Amino acid sequence: MKFEFTSRKSVLLLGAAVLASTAIACGSQAETKPAAEAPKAAATTATAAPAKATPAAQQLKPNADRVVTVEWLSGKTSDANVVSIDLRAKDKYDAGHIPGAVWMNTADFNQKKGDIGELASAQQIATALSKVGIKPENTIVLYDDQGSLWSTRVGWSLEVYGHKDWRVLNGTWTSWDAAKKPVTKEVAARPATQYAFAAQPNTKIVVNMEQMVKAVGDPSKIVCDSRTADEFTGRDLRAPAKAGGHVPGAKNLAYSDAVAKTGEFLPVADLKKLYDTAGIVAQDNQTIFTYCQSGIRAAHAWFVLQNLIGYQNVAVYDGSWEEYGAQTSNKIEAPRS
């Protein structure tokens, strides 16, 4: 605010008023207070430690194209470039499946003591894809009847070895059947191919036991346990693990919590809230490690966190508790109740 004075008398009167009010406010000691004391307080303030910066939240980049709807797929069943893979039990496939779908055994994607954890080798998976007539340029749509449990596992496997265009049918077979879409018993006639993965494995989305052990107490890592609460606390111990419990510091959220009763994934906003509430929130410099009992449910959590919510640094510990819990030297938390 700007003040304007029109006479010397006004200035003198104003000055007297200011001095009087200062004396009343400060008391008689104000006259004897050293003049240098005020700068000393300012100097103390100047040397105070700066406030610690809050870590920036990680920028989310969801990949919505990884999920397709029943309506989308129903318009692609005659497209030779789009290949649906049925991952249900063989007898269910034989009883009726999506037109054009081929059946694959989930065992083709797993191998105890494989090249990467329990994941089958690139050659084993390529051979299986060749038998059902799939080419590297094909769009693969995966479906099962277990809340996308096997679809996300196979999708993660394809991502590791470099098949670019794979997708998951939202709602799985359950939604297709509920929508009364066409069903056939006819086995798709696709000539065998010579499938080969062109790229090196994407090890950024795979974690081994040594990396998981080092993650304990590491603030740059968040560990997500996607097993049940009873497995997490150690009440439910499954072989070949020798001890129950969980990786120290891990946050627990069962993979099934991310799926609605219809078999569809929850809306993205609900998924984000769900994981946030469980304490699985990555800052800009953090990586999320997922694990379960054998790497299957962990891949489901990976899919939700990376493709639906949009975290960029998520990796699956494929050996999971079968491996970690079998090593007596590994640190374990087991808050049994």
Kindly state the average pLDDT of the residues 55-83.
Answer: 93
Using DSSP bridges, classify how beta strands 67-68 and 82-86 pair: parallel, antiparallel or unpaired. unpaired
Q: What is the per-residue burial (b if ≥16 Cβ within 10 Å, else e) of 136-158? A: bebbbbbbbbbbbbbbbbbbbbb
pLDDT above 80 for 24: no
pLDDT digits (tens, 9 = 90+) for 99-150: 999 999 999 999 876 566 789 999 999 999 999 999 999 999 999 999 999 9
How many CA atoms, within 13 angstroms, populate the side-chain half-sphere of residue 30?
10
**Residues 266, 254 contacting (CB under 8 angstroms):** no
Topology given in CATH for the domain delimited by 204-324 = Oxidized Rhodanese; domain 1 (3.40.250)
What is the phi-psi region of residue 217: left when phi exceeds 0, alpha when psi lies from -120 to 50, beta otherwise? left
* Domains 64-200 and 204-324 equal at CATH topology level: yes
Identify the residue whose tokens are 């034989």. 94
Across 202-230, average pLDDT: 97
Superfamily for domain range 64-200: Rhodanese-like domain (3.40.250.10)
Arithmetic mean of pLDDT, 308-326: 96
What is the average pLDDT score of the chain? 86
**Where are the strands (E) in the chain, listed by range?**
67-68, 82-86, 102-103, 139-143, 166-169, 206-207, 221-225, 251-252, 287-291, 314-317
Is 68 in contact with 141 (CB distance < 8 Å)? Answer: yes
- Residue range 277-316, pLDDT digits in tens: 999 999 988 999 999 999 999 999 999 999 999 999 999 9
The Cα–Cα gap between 297 and 276 comes to 19
Give the Cα-Cα-Cα angle 152, 156, 157 (nearest 5 degrees): 120
The residue behind tokens 């430690």 is: 49
How far is it, in rounded angstroms, from Cα 71 to Cα 256?
24
Query: In which element (H, E) is residue 96 found?
Result: none
Cβ-in-10-Å burial (0-12, 13-18, 19+) of 318 comes to buried
Amino acid at 230: D
Q: Is the pLDDT of residue 10 over 50?
A: no
What residues does each domain of the chain span?
64-200, 204-324
Name the pLDDT band for 199 (thresholds 50, 70, 90).
confident
Give percent above pLDDT 90 in the chain.
Answer: 76
What pLDDT score does 336 carry? 54
Q: Could you tell me what percent of the chain has a pLDDT over 70?
A: 82
> Is residue 222 predicted with pLDDT exceeding 90?
yes
98, 212, 249 from 278: Cα distances, Å: 37, 20, 12
At 202, the pLDDT band (50, 70, 90 cuts) reads very high
DSSP for 106-173 reads GGGGB-TT-SBTTBPPHHHHHHHHHHTT--TTSEEEEE-SSTTHHHHHHHHHHHHHT---EEEETTHH
pLDDT above 60: residue 163:
yes
Average pLDDT over residues 208-227: 97
- Going by the DSSP 8-state scheme, the letter that residue 58 receives in this structure is P
- Please state the φ and ψ torsions of residue 140, each to the nearest 5 degrees: -100, 130
2 pLDDT tier (thresholds 50, 70, 90): very low
By mean pLDDT, which of 80-94, 102-116, 167-181, 211-225 is the weakest?
A: 102-116
Give me the mean pLDDT over the 204-208 stretch: 96
β-bridge partners, 68: 169
Helix (H, G, I), strand (E, B) or coil at 289: strand
Beta bridge partners of 314: 288
Residues 178-192 have a mean pLDDT of 96
Measure the CA–CA gap between 254 and 232, rounded to whole angstroms: 9
Q: Tell me the per-residue pLDDT of 232-289, one tens digit each, with 9 for 90 and over.
A: 999 999 988 899 999 999 999 999 999 999 999 999 999 999 999 999 999 988 999 9
